[in-house]
Amino acid sequence: MCRHLAYVGPSVALGQLLVSPQHSLVRQSWEPRRQRYGTVNADGFGVGWYAEGDPAPGRYRRQGPVWGDETFADLARVVRSAGILAAVRDATVAGADGEAAAAPFAADGLLFSHNGAVKAWPASLAPLAGALPPAELLTLEARSDSALIWALVRHRISGGDTVPQAVADTVVDVAASAPGSRLNLLLTDGSTIVATAWGDTLWYLTEPGHRTVVASEPYDDDPLWREVPDRTLLTATRTDVLLTPLKEPSA
Instruction: Give the catalytic positions in this structure.
Output: 2
- Asked if residue 104 has a cis previous peptide bond (ω within 30° of 0), the answer is yes
Contact (CB, 8 A) for 14 and 45: no
Q: Which residue, among 238, 234, 152, 156, has the nearest Cα to 197 in the 3D structure?
A: 234
Residue 127, SS3?
Answer: helix
Q: Which residue, among 6, 4, 57, 56, has the nearest Cα to 211 in the 3D structure?
A: 6
Angle at the Cα of 82 from the Cα atoms of 77 and 86, rounded to 5 degrees: 65
Total residue length of the chain: 251
Q: Rounded distance, CA 69 to CA 184, Å? A: 26
Q: Which residue, among 162, 153, 209, has the nearest Cα to 186 in the 3D structure?
A: 153
Q: Rounded distance, CA 22 to CA 117, Å? A: 28
Contact (CB, 8 A) for 195 and 184: yes
Q: Rounded distance, CA 183 to CA 91, Å? A: 14
